[in-house]
Amino acid sequence: TELKKVIQGIPKAELHLHLEGSFEPELMFKIAKRNKIVLDYASIDSLKEAYKFNNLQEFLDLYYIGAQVLLHEQDFFDLTWAYLTKVHSQNVVHVEVFFDPQTHTDRGVPFDVVITGIHKALEKAEHELHISYRLIMSYLRHLSEEAAFKTLESSLPYKDWIDGVGLDSSELGNPPSKFVNVFKASYNYGYTLVAHAGEEGPVDYIWQALELLQVVRIDHGNRCLEDEALVKRLIEEKIPLTLCPLSNVALNVIQKMEDHPALKMLEIGMIATIHSDDPAYFGGYMNENYYETAKALHLNNSQLKQLAINAFEASWLTRETKEKHIAHVK
């Protein structure tokens, strides 16, 4: 259709993507087989059948199980490379992606194995696909701050390969305030800070992410519209929100796409951006997220382009590079 062509034609930046969430069942079965791991599911179809979630935790339970088949550097390379070639086909030209070191190191997979596989795929994509990238290490918020500190320490030999730190996993009951010290330490080591907040958690968690953690972007942040003072602050300080519409529907953060706050946020001047979160689990990559949002909210072409421009603005590219990409969107 015309809308799909328009979306394909727009160069895009993806800023909210969990590499472990891009693990397609087909690749999961392939890697399980070569690692001699027997999955609890008899077939790719029966695994896909299980992808029905009532909330964030039900998704996370499956997401962590899927990640267990990743053991070797080649596995992390293949996972990352599959994602990058997929989004390359969707005209994504810049990515800032998350990985969850603790999901792997807690199973005995060395930090070095994880990051080397990911790094090699990102470098290959930069050279061969001309996709620029940043890498963000996420702390799992259901674990302790002490555990996050251990992860920070493990990351230091690879500091040049990592641009930022994030905060993900089970939000309710695990407020940003739990991680104030490790975020401060991460900042002092030169990492740029982001955090998931206001996906399932209350507006107060978004305030905490801003004031206590001092993040430069909020991942999700859907619930900010409940608080006028917070909206004012996000607009004044130009704090971007990395929204993930298909994720929000899949995890019941919203009831249906028509209820998504993206358009409202654009209209009031927030730096709203669109991403895929965990595309293998939620039914779509970047183009599908743009398409379903545009269709449900009746976005016009200029609003679609604004979403793409916002993502370049929200990225950690240099001013000059942002301008180059933005000129291509227009």
* Binding mask of the shown chain, residues 223 to 262, with x at each position contacting ligand HPA by CB under 6 A: ------------------------x---------------
From the list ligand HPA, Zn ion, none, partner contacted by residue 104 (C-beta under 5 to 8 A by kind): none
Phi, psi angle pair for 28, to nearest 5°: -60, -45
278 contributes a contact to ligand HPA by CB under 6 A: yes
| Phi and psi at residue 132, to the nearest 5° | -85, 160
3-state secondary structure (DSSP) of residue 94: strand
Per-residue contact track with ligand HPA, 31 to 70, x per CB under 6 A?
-------------------------x------x-------
Position 118, amino acid:
I
Least Cβ distance, residue 127 to Zn ion (angstroms): 28
Active-site choice (24, 171, 199, 292): 199
Q: Nearest approach, Cβ of 98 to Zn ion (angstroms)?
A: 7
Nearest CA to 100 out of 52, 61, 153, 138 is that of: 138
CA distances from 170 to 60, 167, 280, 318 (A): 8, 10, 19, 33
Total binding residues toward ligand HPA, as defined by CB under 6 A:
11
Give Cβ neighbours of residue 199 (< 8 Å, ≥ 6 apart): 56, 171, 219, 220, 221, 222, 223, 248, 251, 253
Please state the separation of Cα 136 from the chain's center in Å.
Answer: 9
Annotated binding site: 16, 18, 196, 277-278
Is 123 considered catalytic here?
no
Query: How many residues of this chain bind Zn ion (CB under 5 A)?
Result: 1
Number of H helices, E strands in the chain: 17, 8
Residues 137-176, one symbol each (x = binds ligand HPA by CB under 6 A, - = not), give -------------------------------xx-------
Considering the complex, state which of residue 73 and residue 289 has its C-beta at the smaller distance from Zn ion. 289
Structure tokens that stand for 119 in this block: 């790094």
Task: Answer yes or no whether residue 96 interacts with Zn ion by CB under 5 A.
Answer: no
| Sequence ranges of the binding site for substrate | 278
Is 277 among the residues that bind Zn ion (CB under 5 A)? Answer: yes
For the beta carbon of residue 1, count every other beta carbon within 10 angstroms: 8
- Nearer to Zn ion by Cβ, of 75 and 277: the residue is 277
Cross-strand bridge partners of residue 243: 274
Our finding on whether 96 is near ligand HPA (CB under 6 A) is no
Among 24, 199, 292, 313, binds ligand HPA (CB under 6 A): 199
Q: Nearest distance from residue 326's CB to ligand HPA, in Å?
A: 27
Q: What is the largest distance, in Å, between two alpha-carbon atoms of the chain?
A: 54
Q: How far is the CB of 59 from ligand HPA (least distance, A)?
A: 7
In angstroms, how far is CA 296 from the centroid of its own chain? Answer: 22
Decide if 289 contacts 248 (C-beta within 8 A): no
249 three-state secondary structure: helix
CB of 322 vs ligand HPA, minimal distance in Å: 26
Q: How far is CA 124 from its chain centroid?
A: 20
> In terms of CB distance, is 58 or 324 closer to Zn ion?
58
Evaluate whether 7 touches 290 at the Cβ level (below 8 Å): yes
Chain residue at closest Cβ approach to ligand HPA: 168
By CB under 5 A, name the binding residues for Zn ion: 277
Active site residues: 199
- Judged by the rule CB under 6 A, the positions of this chain that interact with ligand HPA are 18, 21, 56, 63, 168-169, 196, 199, 247, 277-278
